[in-house]
Amino acid sequence: MMNDNEKYIEEYVKDIPFDAPDSGHRDELKTQLLNAFPKHRLQPAVQTVGIWRTIMKSRTSKLAAAAVIMLAVLAGLHFFDRTSGIVWADVVKRLEEIKSGTYTITADIKGMPGMPEDYVTHIIQDVKLSYEQSAVRVDASVQAPNGTRKSRIYLLFEDRVLTSLMLDQKKYIEVEIGEEQMKKMSEENGDPATILKAILERDYIELGRQIIDGVPSWGIEASDPKLGTKMGSLISGGMFDELTVQLWVDERSQFPIRLFATGSSKDGKTSMKTVYDNFQWNTEIDPALLRPEIPDGFELLAQSQWETGQEAEEILDVLKLFVELGDGTYPASLKTMTVAQAIVPLLRKKYPEGSAKPDKEVLARYMKVDRVGLMYTTLEKEGKEPAYYGDKVSAESPGAVLFRWKIGDDAYRVVFGDLSTRDVTATQLAELEDALKNL
């Protein structure tokens, strides 16, 4: 029985008209849903639903199921030492078997080179990755204070060519990648399989079970700045001093559902929050989408090469830019972000509005800055014991060690403040580095 108030409301709302559904929106949404339909993610769910129904309808197994649910809840509450409902090695295996995937990377980065201090740059990247076609395409948009910059990057593993299109400027850059470097990139191409393997290689922690977008998921986390080398172009190696990566995997499909990465530099000037989501696995990707398409009227801005084994020399070439363009004050560290931030004011000074643009060879040298962090971590990984003292040493201290790396047993190559080089023994190096204390 209704009371007076209910009768009043019922009478009040009677006949009040509302907007009718719009067939245009209905059809558009249908198209969007079908385009995003996670066929392969949900296919195993069909079988699981059936099994789940059987389990829940069987009286004897209900209690067991409830116990499992409670264990999962308690694990999620961190009451116990964390153990996982996921066999991570199996997830790696499943990921290694996928043929293609698409996902979105959204990043907020403070301290991007060329941006105002404290400005948080919002970057969105739509990634299409096909192992079958050995290709990656990334459509990126970067929200800068003066508008959004759009770019498109194609990487063809077999052709060893990376093509970057700057869509607004109608320019493009081609980088020919050396065979060794290409092998490395295809092994560490920033996809979730690579990232998960990298997390498992570290002292990781289990995060337990959580509901992500309504989906029960299990998480894993590791902190290590070197994880950046596994994360592709956006968070390339050595960009940050601190880096924590969390990967969440759908309990049912055992495929990644979300990835969070946070990074920061020691001086607090740069920080980053990144989310990978909208994962779809084994979707069909039209081969035409992965082939570099240079639209008419686009100008080739620069062509460069990316060889491996020359990392230290390449870093030295980047350091030379600070003498050529500036007063020989070097970047405080060889993190990509730090180097890029240090070089931006020098480039602005050298190329004011309206001045002649640098030629292709010069641009190719500038582009090496992008890879400095990655090159430095490669030296570390290969046991070449690199060390860099740009925070203390400038061109004004010609005899002080600026940069060094190991070139053989008991042999190190030292780059001094004036960028001259000398090969020394470990004992000599110790003496030279001891002298840095007096600076």
Cβ-count burial of 331 within 10 angstroms (0-12 exposed, 13-18 middle, 19+ buried)?
Answer: buried
**Binders in 129-188 for other proteins, by CB under 8 A:** none
Nearer to other proteins, 49 or 435 (CB): 49
> Does 12 sit near other proteins (CB under 8 A)?
yes
- Cβ closest to other proteins, residue 18 vs residue 145: 18
Which of these segments, 33-41, 114-122, 282-290, 304-312, binds other proteins (CB under 8 A)? 33-41
CA-nearest of 276, 218, 269, 219 to 242 is 269
CA distances from 346 to 117, 315, 355, 380, 403 (A): 16, 17, 14, 28, 21
Q: Does 43 bind other proteins (CB under 8 A)?
A: yes
* Rg, Å, the chain Cα set: 27
Q: Which of residues 5, 146, 427, 438 is near other proteins by CB under 8 A?
A: 5
Q: Does 52 help bind other proteins (rule: CB under 8 A)? A: yes
Stretch that binds other proteins, among 27-35, 174-182, 367-375, 384-392 (CB under 8 A): 27-35
Contacts 24+ apart (CB under 8 A), 327-332: 327/394, 327/395, 328/394, 328/395, 328/396, 328/417, 328/418, 329/394, 329/395, 330/390, 330/393, 330/394, 330/395, 330/402, 331/390, 332/267, 332/390, 332/391
Choices 19-27, 79-87, 116-124, 228-236 (CB under 8 A): range interacting with other proteins: 19-27
Task: State how far the Cα of 435 lies from the Cα of 439, in Å rounded to an integer.
Answer: 8
Cα–Cα distance for residue pair 202/224, rounded to 1 Å: 8
> x/- string (CB under 8 A) for other proteins, residues 208-247?
-----xxx--------------------------------
Decide the pairing of beta strands 161-166 and 171-177.
Answer: antiparallel
Contact mark string toward other proteins, 196..215, x via CB under 8 A: -----------------xxx
Applying CB under 8 A, does 284 fall inside the site for other proteins?
no
Whole-Å CA distances, 260 to 26, 220, 228, 282, 320: 33, 10, 13, 22, 36
Q: Per rule CB under 8 A, is residue 39 in the interface with other proteins? A: yes
Question: Least Å distance between CB 275 and other proteins?
Answer: 16
1 is an interface residue for other proteins by CB under 8 A = no
Determine if 300 is a binding residue for other proteins (CB under 8 A). Answer: no
68 touches other proteins (CB under 8 A): no
CA distance 95 to 247: 13
Q: Of the ranges 49-57, 72-80, 144-152, 367-375, which one interacts with other proteins (CB under 8 A)?
A: 49-57
22 is an interface residue for other proteins by CB under 8 A: yes
d(Cα 31, Cα 185) in Å, to the nearest integer?
35
Strand partners, 220: 206, 247
CB of 64 to other proteins, least distance (A): 18
- Cβ(261)–Cβ(280) below 8 Å: no
Q: Which is nearer to other proteins, 86 or 165 (CB)?
A: 86
Instruction: State which residue, 161 or 212, has the beta carbon closest to other proteins.
Output: 212
Binder of other proteins out of 34, 51, 288, 356 (CB under 8 A)? 34
With H, G, I as helix, E, B as strand and everything else as coil, classify residue 357: coil
Number of H helices and E strands in the chain, helices first, is: 13, 16
Q: Three-state DSSP class for 49? A: helix
| Whether the Cβ atoms of residue 151 and residue 142 lie closer than 8 Å to each other | yes
Q: Restricting to residues 247-266, which ones interact with other proteins according to CB under 8 A?
A: 252
Residue 275 or 362 having the CB closest to other proteins:
275
Residue 65 contacts other proteins per CB under 8 A: no
Which span (8-16, 262-270, 315-323, 330-338) binds other proteins, by CB under 8 A?
A: 8-16
- By CB under 8 A, which span of 46-54, 126-134, 292-300, 380-388 interacts with other proteins? 46-54
Q: Which of 1, 17, 147, 296 binds other proteins (CB under 8 A)?
A: 17
- 53 lies in the site for other proteins, by CB under 8 A: yes
356 sits near other proteins (criterion: CB under 8 A): no
Buried b (16+ CB within 10 A) or exposed e, 375-394: bbbbbbeeebebbbbbeebb
Are the C-beta atoms of residues 237 and 374 closer than 8 Å to each other?
yes
Task: Select the span of 13-21, 66-74, 108-116, 145-153 touching other proteins (CB under 8 A).
Answer: 13-21
Q: Which residues contact 248 (CB under 8 A, 6 or more apart)?
A: 207, 210, 212, 217, 218, 219, 256, 257, 258, 259, 260
d(CA 402, CA 413): 11
Number of amino acids touching other proteins (CB under 8 A): 40
Which residues form the interface with other proteins (CB under 8 A)?
Answer: 3, 5-6, 8-10, 12-13, 15-19, 21-22, 25-26, 29-30, 32-34, 36-39, 42-43, 45-46, 48-50, 52-53, 56, 213-215, 252
